[in-house]
Amino acid sequence: MATCEANGVNPETYLADVLLRVQAHPNSRIGSLLPHE
């Protein structure tokens, strides 16, 4: 959550989005789901 806030990302919005996208996201690209990307 601190990383979200440090990068100007709303933590609640980020979590809602990433929990939906992680299900079908390839493991090799998991870093693209981080809030600083």
Residue predicted with more confidence, 25 or 11: 11
Q: What pLDDT sits at residue 27?
A: 85
Cβ-based burial of 4 (10 A; exposed 0-12, middle 13-18, buried ≥19): middle
On the question of pLDDT at 20 being above 70, the answer is yes
pTM of this structure: 0.65
Q: Mean pLDDT, the chain, as a whole number?
A: 88
Contact 3, 33 (CB under 8 A): no
Say which residues have a Cβ less than 8 Å from residue 18's Cβ, sequence separation at least 6: 33
What pLDDT does 15 receive?
92
Distance of CA 31 to the CA centre of its chain: 9
pLDDT at 12 over 70: yes
Average pLDDT estimate for 13-31: 89
